[in-house]
């Protein structure tokens, strides 16, 4: 209790307190409520309201409630019980939503897996989580069947995209697009049958929101092996409530109009799960589901057709939309706010997207271990472009020395920033720990309970945080520390460069030097080495300028669209030749 009281005082006296909107409290009381109760209460209140739109077909809150209840009872009939881990291998579709909510309602622990994963990656996540069942689409059965015997999976529950399409569209889908999809065999259960045969009796499973794990959210593994973050119902509920306050700041509340969100970010990622799935439920909002966010024009069509209010995405998605030749053809005027997360939002991307769409774009920050949101920028024009913004309600943030781990004092340099340190977080959204990995858990928590993010940051005098880079991505060259993010930001300022990723490489004397991978902007030409060097000299010290530039058609990204440096480092270390696909320019 003493610790909570001290934290409360720190929040009230935080440097960012004066920046908060008058309608947003620094501290919010979070009810001890589980996520399934959140859904059932919203479904009762908004029974006739549209909840999901998928490929032109609408499902109301009441229709979804019935399906969730019946599927949950069928899971109980199978012997699946509270505490069991259950996998989901599906894109954003109605079946994902219904399956997810049914798992939560019986006290199960969801374990969502990206459909982009390979069988090897899927097997790892199923084995590590000890999942006993998995929901999947028929199109992914060829990924599940070869690995099933090497996991604890007892039940494979299969559905098809066609099951949630309008009759004619479903018929055509089965005959044309899905005709080669594997058919469920006798050892696999059919999703539709479990729902049709399920009882409609109320689910009566006691869930302790603060103690019981709701979700095993696996880290992407950008700096090491993937780990399962144990996140409780309370972790996510605190996020939903805090985000709702911020959304009012971002877009305002419209009387008698339910919020409409675009579900484009994969729900298998915590950013998509919190902001585009759970938050809309909490306000009785509509979710327009996007199974494949790579279909850019489809996204723009849906925004225009359904007059979307909120659209969450990652920087690369906003960049590609802004570069799309038809971006000005579509009406973006209904958008009240877009929030970018997952990785750093370059100023060049923010400016281009807002210029092309006239839609508000705000950067946020978070990590899997924090459910995930910890910071968001204010909407005020004066402040909203300062780094990752300020901590959300109930959240504390501080910097610790990179060597000693001691707190960095609030002493500011002439540029208005503190010195750099590792960003640490404390709040109700922080995980319990990593599944079955006490040593790894201990590494990311300080002795007094702060979560170490692994990101190097600095703070302004009024409490805004600016990310310098990932601690493990620092490049030591010519006796200096070089942060890739700074160089990537500069490169992306060039009008002919769309994306950039920077890593270290060994020169002939085995010294670390800087290498940049580039993707050119649509319709532009590749720059020569001299042109790139001349451009970089305007912004970077000589030792920061990349010694090697390599153009590629695309860069490796995570399932949610975050640019990954690790595969590039591994490829470089193994000295794999990429000359068949790229052109190397040596400076």
- pLDDT, one tens digit per residue, over 29-57 is 999 999 999 999 999 999 999 999 999 99
Residue intervals of the chain classified under CATH 3.40.50.980 are 59-207
Q: Rounded to two decimals, what is the model's pTM?
A: 0.90
Q: With 60 as the cut, is the pLDDT of residue 311 above it?
A: yes
CA torsion, points 556, 561, 566, 571, in degrees to nearest 10? -10
Can you give the pLDDT at residue 432? 97
Residues 6 or more apart whose Cβ sits within 8 Å of residue 226: 121, 124, 125, 128, 218, 219, 220
Rounded distance, CA 400 to CA 302, Å? 44
Rounded distance, CA 122 to CA 54, Å? 26
φ, ψ (nearest 5 deg) of residue 420? -75, 145
Can you give the pLDDT at residue 576? 40
Strands 583-586, 337-340: pairing kind: unpaired
Element (H, E) at 77: helix 61-77
CATH topology of domain 59-207: Rossmann fold (3.40.50)
Q: Are 369 and 431 in contact (CB under 8 A)?
A: yes
Q: Helix, strand, or coil here: 280? A: helix
In angstroms, how far is CA 379 from the centroid of its own chain?
A: 21
Q: In the chain, pLDDT over 70 holds for what percent of residues?
A: 96
* Cα–Cα distance list, 412 to 18, 336, 409, 415 (Å): 18, 35, 9, 8
In angstroms, how far is CA 577 from the centroid of its own chain?
A: 32
Strand partners, 50: 60
Mean predicted confidence (pLDDT) in 69-96 = 98
Rounded distance, CA 324 to CA 356, Å? 10
| Burial grade of 198 (CB within 10 A; 0-12, 13-18, 19 or more) | buried
Categorize the per-residue pLDDT at 249 as very low, low, confident or very high, splitting at 50, 70 and 90.
confident
DSSP characters over 418-453 = PPPEEEEEESTTS-SEETT-HHHHHHTB-TTSPEEE
The whole-chain average pLDDT of the chain stands at 92
Can you give the pLDDT at residue 582? 47
In angstroms, how far is CA 184 from the centroid of its own chain?
A: 31
Can you give the pLDDT at residue 509? 75
CATH class in words for 474-586: alpha beta
In angstroms, how far is CA 250 from the centroid of its own chain?
A: 19
Cα–Cα–Cα angle for 425, 428, 433, rounded to 5 degrees = 70
Categorize the per-residue pLDDT at 577 as very low, low, confident or very high, splitting at 50, 70 and 90.
very low
Element (H, E) at 219: none
State the residue for tokens 């001349």.
Answer: 534
Can you give the pLDDT at residue 222? 54
| Burial grade of 532 (CB within 10 A; 0-12, 13-18, 19 or more) | buried
Q: In the chain, pLDDT over 90 holds for what percent of residues?
A: 82
Give percent helix, percent strand, percent coil of the chain, each to the nearest 5: 35, 25, 40
Q: Is the peptide bond before 372 cis (omega within 30 degrees of 0)?
A: yes
- pLDDT, one tens digit per residue, over 497-537 is 999 999 998 887 778 899 999 999 999 999 998 899 999 99
Q: Are 481 and 516 in contact (CB under 8 A)?
A: no
Rounded distance, CA 535 to CA 523, Å? 19
Rounded distance, CA 563 to CA 255, Å? 39
- pLDDT, one tens digit per residue, over 404-462 is 999 998 889 989 999 999 999 999 999 999 999 999 999 999 999 999 999 999 999 99
* Residue-level length of the chain: 587
Q: With 70 as the cut, is the pLDDT of residue 254 above it?
A: no
In angstroms, how far is CA 256 from the centroid of its own chain?
A: 30
Around 35, how many Cα atoms within 13 Å sit in the side-chain half-sphere? Answer: 34
Residue intervals of the chain classified under CATH 3.30.300.30 are 474-586
CA torsion, points 468, 220, 296, 310, in degrees to nearest 10? -70
Cα–Cα–Cα angle for 264, 268, 271, rounded to 5 degrees = 65
Structure tokens at 431: 């995980």
Categorize the per-residue pLDDT at 146 as very low, low, confident or very high, splitting at 50, 70 and 90.
very high
Categorize the per-residue pLDDT at 379 as very low, low, confident or very high, splitting at 50, 70 and 90.
confident
Rounded distance, CA 232 to CA 126, Å? 19
Q: Helix, strand, or coil here: 414? A: coil
Q: With 80 as the cut, is the pLDDT of residue 225 above it?
A: no
Mean predicted confidence (pLDDT) in 304-308 = 98
Rounded distance, CA 127 to CA 113, Å? 12
Can you give the pLDDT at residue 349? 95
């Amino acid at each position: 209790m003493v610790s909570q009281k001290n934290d409360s005082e720190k929040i009230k006296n935080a440097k960012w307190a004066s920046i908060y909107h008058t309608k947003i409290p620094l501290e919010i009381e979070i009810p001890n409520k589980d996520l399934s109760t959140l859904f059932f209460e919203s479904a009762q209140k908004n029974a006739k309201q549209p909840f999901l739109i998928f490929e032109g077909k609408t499902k109301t809150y009441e229709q979804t409630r019935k399906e969730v209840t019946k599927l949950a009872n069928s899971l109980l009939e199978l012997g699946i019980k509270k505490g069991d881990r259950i996998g989901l291998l599906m894109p954003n579709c109605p079946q994902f939503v219904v399956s997810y909510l049914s798992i939560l309602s019986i006290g199960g622990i969801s374990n969502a897996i990206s459909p982009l994963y390979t069988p090897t990656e899927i097997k790892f996540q199923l084995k590590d989580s000890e999942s006993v069942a998995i929901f999947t689409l028929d199109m992914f059965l060829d990924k599940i069947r070869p690995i099933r015997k090497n996991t604890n999976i007892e039940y494979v529950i299969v559905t098809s995209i066609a099951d949630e399409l309008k009759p004619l569209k479903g018929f055509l889908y089965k005959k044309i697009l899905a005709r080669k999809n594997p058919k469920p065999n006798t050892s696999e259960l059919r999703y539709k049958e479990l729902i049709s045969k399920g009882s409609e009796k109320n689910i009566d499973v006691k869930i302790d929101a603060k103690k019981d794990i709701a979700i095993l959210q696996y880290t992407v593994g950008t700096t090491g092996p993937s780990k399962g973050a144990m996140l409780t119902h309370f972790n996510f509920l605190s996020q939903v409530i805090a985000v709702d306050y911020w959304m009012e700041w971002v877009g305002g509340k419209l009387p008698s109009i339910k919020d409409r969100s675009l579900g484009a970010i994969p729900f298998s990622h915590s950013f998509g799960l919190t902001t585009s799935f759970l938050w809309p439920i909490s306000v009785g909002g509509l979710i327009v589901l996007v199974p494949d966010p790579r279909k850019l024009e489809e996204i723009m069509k849906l925004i225009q057709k359904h007059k979307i209010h909120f659209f969450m995405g990652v920087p690369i998605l906003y960049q590609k939309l802004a570069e799309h030749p038809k971006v000005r053809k579509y009406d973006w005027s209904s958008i009240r706010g877009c929030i970018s997360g997952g990785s750093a939002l370059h100023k060049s991307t923010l400016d281009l997207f807002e210029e092309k769409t006239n839609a508000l774009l705000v950067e946020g920050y978070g990590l899997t271990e924090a459910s995930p949101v910890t910071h968001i920028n204010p909407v005020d024009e004066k402040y909203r472009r300062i780094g990752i913004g300020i901590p959300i309600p109930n959240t504390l943030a501080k910097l610790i020395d990179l060597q000693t781990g001691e707190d960095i004092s609030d002493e500011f340099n002439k540029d208005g920033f503190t010195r750099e340190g590792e960003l640490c977080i404390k709040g109700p959204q922080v995980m319990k720990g990593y599944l079955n990995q006490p040593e790894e858990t201990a590494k990311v928590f300080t002795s007094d309970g702060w979560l170490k993010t692994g990101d190097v940051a600095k703070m302004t005098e009024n409490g805004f945080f600016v990310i310098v880079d990932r601690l493990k991505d620092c490049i030591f060259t010519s006796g200096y520390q070089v942060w890739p993010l700074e160089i990537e930001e500069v490169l992306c300022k060039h009008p002919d460069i769309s994306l950039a990723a920077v890593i270290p490489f060994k020169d002939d004397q085995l010294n670390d030097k800087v290498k940049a991978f580039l993707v050119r902007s649509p319709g532009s030409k590749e720059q020569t080495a001299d042109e790139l060097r001349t451009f970089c000299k305007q912004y970077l010290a000589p030792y920061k300028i990349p010694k090697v530039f390599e153009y590629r058609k695309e860069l490796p990204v995570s399932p949610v669209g975050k640019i990954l440096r690790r595969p590039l480092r591994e490829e470089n270390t193994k000295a794999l030749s990429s000359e068949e696909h790229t052109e190397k320019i040596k400076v």
